[in-house]
Amino acid sequence: MLTANNPYTGATIAEYPSLNEQQMAEQIAAAKEAFSAWRDTGFAGRAKVLNAVAAELRSRKDHLAKLMAQEMGKPVKEGGPEVEKAAWCAEFYAQNAEKFLQPDYIDSDASTSYVCYQPLGTLLGILPWNAPLWLAFRYLAPALMAGNTCVMKHDPNVPACAQAIAEAFVAAGAPENIMVNLPITTELAESAIRHPDIAAVSFTGSANAGAKVAAVAGSEIKHCVLELGGSDPCIVMADADLATAADIAVLSRIINAGQSCIAAKRILVEKSVYSEFTVMVEERLAKLKMGDPQLPDTDIGPIAREDLRHNLHRQVADSVSKGASCLLGGELPAGEGYFYPPTLLADVHPEMPAFCEETFGPVMALTPVADIDEALALANQTEYGLGAAIWTAQVDKAEQWAGVIETGQVAINGIVKTDPRLPSGGVKRSGFGRELGPHGIREFVNAKQVWMK
């Protein structure tokens, strides 16, 4: 059984039957059976389906936002925009997939030589709970528009969200089994990866789980894309627009109660403005309202699971015991639900968990730096390499600094975000491969060389 718990109350919402191994294999086989016809539908036909799915998502936006609030605690004022973003992703690839996958003609000793991009077959997407709609569609939209069929193994914490995504495809009139929901326990994930009808794997989740997925996929010689954790640095130089930097750093840190792999987690601030900037972010964090995620004025909902909350508190407590100053929050609230308050830690150094581990919650860690050289060194002093931000008036120099930072994306004077138009992914223990943009749709195709004399 897959059990959905409400993190606002800690109570069980519902239990959903999970597939056994034979049933799982049948569902995968059904997606494989649907592949040939879907591949041959062509870009225009596939685009019509994806646009219809996007319309269904928008028509169900309030319902889907409520499901996310109930199953993983996302405030509804964030859930609605997440649904819109998922719909946008479907529409973006419906409009641009054919252009992204045009053959590349390359001069050689042939009369004509080119590379064409053909779908691989049936893919497996293994998804996390923290953005149930968006993370599903950044896998589904490019993969489906490339002509693949998709099997979706969503996180056991959000079974109703997964079911609702499948229902949107049915309501949109999508061909049967081009997208198959796979409600299985985590223990069956390895069997799903090894199933002979699965051509490749897309995984989003923790670095430890990603390593296991990569090992299994590698043993089967199957391509995989991994989007894993992050400990994203945010560098704030003295000449930056400090008020805007504080606004965006706080927003980045507290979206989804801080449960985002690309959130600003380690804030590296030039010493001459460190005290001033600390006051700015403390004032902003203190104004945030924590409460029922189904209420429209709630800024921060609960952490998705009790074990995640306790691990977050361990990281805060250990960092304080090692010398960090807790200026705000840092205490486990009394009462029901898995809440953790907006927390501000100052004077954090690399030996502390708040610096060297990924903190998945509303905990902001501030570290003073002497100059940009120290900031860049500390930014790279992590096993992760997902995203980074730089705040400075020296935009030309910031471009050079961005080249030094070991991450998959860098935002200069803006928020680190994912966007259907731009590739996203990491290096080091943040994973490999890219999602989104023209690069993402080319991950799950066969780049076939054709040579003619």
pLDDT tens digit sequence for 96-128: 999 999 999 999 999 999 999 999 999 999 999
Q: How many residues does the chain have?
A: 453
Q: Are residue 35 and residue 168 in the same domain, yes or no? A: yes
Question: What integer is the mean pLDDT of 382-408?
Answer: 98
Q: Are residue 362 and residue 345 in the same domain, yes or no? A: yes
Question: What integer is the mean pLDDT of 312-316?
Answer: 98
Question: Rounded CA gap, 258 and 303, in Å?
Answer: 9
Within a domain: residue 326? Answer: yes
Question: Rounded CA gap, 142 and 160, in Å?
Answer: 23
Q: What is the CATH number of the domain that holds 27?
A: 3.40.605.10
Q: Are residue 70 and residue 207 in the same domain, yes or no? A: yes
Question: Rounded CA gap, 365 and 306, in Å?
Answer: 22
Q: Are residue 143 and residue 251 in the same domain, yes or no? A: no
3-state class of 239 per DSSP? Answer: coil
Q: What is the pLDDT of residue 259?
A: 97
User: E strand or H helix at 70, and its extent?
Assistant: helix 61-72
Question: Rounded CA gap, 165 and 217, in Å?
Answer: 26
User: E strand or H helix at 89, and its extent?
Assistant: helix 76-100
Q: Which of 329, 314, 357 is nearest to 257 (CA)?
A: 329
pLDDT tens digits along 198-224 = 999 999 999 999 999 999 999 999 999
pLDDT tens digits along 24-55 = 999 999 999 999 999 999 999 999 999 999 99
User: E strand or H helix at 217, and its extent?
Assistant: helix 207-219
Q: Are residue 438 and residue 398 in the same domain, yes or no? A: no
Q: Are residue 374 and residue 435 in the same domain, yes or no? A: no
C-beta separation of 2 from 156 below 8 A: yes
Question: Rounded CA gap, 293 and 352, in Å?
Answer: 31
Determine whether 150 is an active site residue.
no
User: E strand or H helix at 328, and its extent?
Assistant: strand 325-328
Q: What is the pLDDT of residue 78?
A: 98
Write down the catalytic residue from 89, 224, 234, 261: 261
Q: What is the pLDDT of residue 40?
A: 98
Question: What integer is the mean pLDDT of 401-410?
Answer: 98
Q: Are residue 127 and residue 30 in the same domain, yes or no? A: yes
Q: Are residue 150 and residue 172 in the same domain, yes or no? A: yes
Determine whether 261 is an active site residue.
yes
Q: What is the pLDDT of residue 182?
A: 98
Q: Are residue 111 and residue 190 in the same domain, yes or no? A: yes
Neighbour-count burial of 111, counting CB atoms closer than 10 A to its CB (0-12 exposed, 13-18 middle, 19+ buried): exposed
Write down the catalytic residue from 78, 227, 357, 358: 227
Kindly indicate the confidence band of residue 405, based on its pLDDT and cuts at 50, 70 and 90.
Answer: very high
Domains of the chain: total: 2
Secondary structure tally for the chain: helices H, strands E = 14, 18
Q: What is the pLDDT of residue 350?
A: 97
C-beta separation of 387 from 407 below 8 A: yes
C-beta separation of 452 from 112 below 8 A: yes
Q: Residue 283: CB partners within 8 Å, gap ≥ 6?
A: none
pLDDT tens digits along 258-311 = 999 999 999 999 999 999 999 999 999 999 999 999 999 999 999 999 999 999
Handedness of CA 434, 439, 443, 444 (dihedral sign): positive
CB atoms within 10 A of CB 124: 28
Q: What is the pLDDT of residue 242?
A: 98
Within a domain: residue 422? Answer: no
Ranges of beta strands (E only) in 187-263 are: 198-204, 223-227, 232-236
Q: What is the pLDDT of residue 59?
A: 98
Question: Rounded CA gap, 159 and 153, in Å?
Answer: 10
DSSP string, 368-416: EESSHHHHHHHHT-SS--SEEEEE-S-HHHHHHHHHHS-SSEEEESS--
Task: For the chain, give the mean pLDDT.
Answer: 98
pLDDT tens digits along 163-174 = 999 999 999 999
Within a domain: residue 418? Answer: no
Based on its alpha-carbon atoms, the radius of gyration of the chain, rounded to whole angstroms, reads 22
Q: What is the pLDDT of residue 197?
A: 98
Within a domain: residue 421? Answer: no
Q: Which of 64, 27, 88 is nearest to 168 (CA)?
A: 64
Q: What is the pLDDT of residue 272?
A: 98
Within a domain: residue 320? Answer: yes
Cα-based angle 359, 424, 150 (whole degrees, multiple of 5): 100
Q: Which residue has the tokens 């029922």?
A: 292
| Partner residues linked to 452 by β-bridges | 112
Q: Are residue 219 and residue 339 in the same domain, yes or no? A: no
Question: What integer is the mean pLDDT of 325-336?
Answer: 96
Within a domain: residue 377? Answer: yes
CB atoms within 10 A of CB 289: 11
Within a domain: residue 106? Answer: yes
Kindly indicate the confidence band of residue 433, based on its pLDDT and cuts at 50, 70 and 90.
Answer: very high
Domain span at residue 224 reads: 2-228+428-452
Question: Rounded CA gap, 433 and 421, in Å?
Answer: 16
CB atoms within 10 A of CB 59: 14
Question: What integer is the mean pLDDT of 229-245?
Answer: 98
Within a domain: residue 419? Answer: no
Q: What is the CATH number of the domain that holds 324?
A: 3.40.309.10
Cα-based angle 74, 342, 299 (whole degrees, multiple of 5): 40
Question: What integer is the mean pLDDT of 345-360?
Answer: 97
Q: Which of 331, 374, 385, 328 is nearest to 350 (CA)?
A: 374
Q: Are residue 283 and residue 365 in the same domain, yes or no? A: yes
Question: What integer is the mean pLDDT of 401-428?
Answer: 98
C-beta separation of 21 from 190 below 8 A: no
* Percent of the chain residues past pLDDT 90, beyond the cut: 100
* Percent of the chain residues past pLDDT 70, beyond the cut: 100
Q: Are residue 146 and residue 6 in the same domain, yes or no? A: yes
